[in-house]
Amino acid sequence: MTQTVLITGANRGIGKALAEKCAQNGMFVIVVSRNLEKAKPVFNDILSHGGKAILKKCDVSNLSDIEILGKEIKQEFKSLDILINCAAINTDTDDTSIENMPVDLLHDTMQTNFFGSVWMCKEFIPLLKKSESGRIINFSSGLGQLGVPRMGPFPAYSMSKTAVNALTKVLADEVKDSSIIVTSVDPGWVATDMGGPNAMLTIAEGIDTPYWLATAPASDLQSGCFYKERKILDW
């Protein structure tokens, strides 16, 4: 049966590459972007290669956008198999510190990276429960890992990704009696607009673990865990 996957931030970077790979492998892709014009090339490319997709607008920092998206998807689909919370921002600069941090910077970062992921999960859990094997993949980062000597730089981004990991842990426990597997992923340092040109991994390499989390047999995965390079990472 065709799997349905919803990917936020699917107009560029890792989200775009995941959308394309999922479509190439026969999934129905719900391409979600806050800017439809920017997402049209991805959408059209999927269709022109024979893939199946629809394009939806949603700014994940805006709760009413998420609720409208949820309402539309629930009208059009009976279930959702995979939710990939990929959209994120990092607007910290090299010298951002807690001491000098503008209020809006932390607020906007948490609103997109953390609240966006929480409200997307909340909105789509009912549809994911209707899948035989639901998956939620929350994009975290090595910068969100607590068990390392130094979390920084990028304090607002780091704290937002630690909070995303908490979401994964809490939600996995909450849905443990369902078939939904909830994971966090650190894709590694990837050469996107966010990762910059000096990053160690190509985008194709960066999507390896998130795509594997979306497609591996359930028996190979542990819900409520943080993954990097297809292995469980310490929190």
Provide the 3-class DSSP secondary structure of residue 27.
coil
Give the nearest distance from C-beta 112 to ligand NAP in angstroms: 4
| Per annotation, catalytic residue among 157, 211, 226, 227 | 157
Nearest-angstrom CA–CA distance, 116 and 84: 12
* List of residues contacting ligand NAP (CB under 6 A): 8-9, 11-15, 34-35, 38, 59-61, 86-89, 112, 139, 141, 186-187, 189-190, 192-195, 199
Dig out the tokens for 156 from the structure: 């607002």
> Is residue 78 exposed (0-12), middle (13-18) or buried (19+ Cβ within 10 Å)?
exposed
Give the nearest distance from C-beta 231 to ligand NAP in angstroms: 16
157 noted as active-site residue: yes
> Is residue 196 exposed (0-12), middle (13-18) or buried (19+ Cβ within 10 Å)?
exposed
Q: In what order do the strands lie in the sheet with 231-233?
A: 52-57, 28-33, 4-7, 82-85, 135-139, 181-185, 225-228, 231-233
Nearest-angstrom CA–CA distance, 28 and 133: 15
Q: Are strands 225-228 and 82-85 parallel, antiparallel or unpaired?
A: unpaired
Give the nearest distance from C-beta 194 to ligand NAP in angstroms: 3
Nearest-angstrom CA–CA distance, 156 and 159: 5
Give the nearest distance from C-beta 127 to ligand NAP in angstroms: 19
> Is residue 3 exposed (0-12), middle (13-18) or buried (19+ Cβ within 10 Å)?
buried
Residue 77 or 189 having the CB closest to ligand NAP:
189
Closest CB to ligand NAP: residue number? 13
**Positions marked active-site:** 157
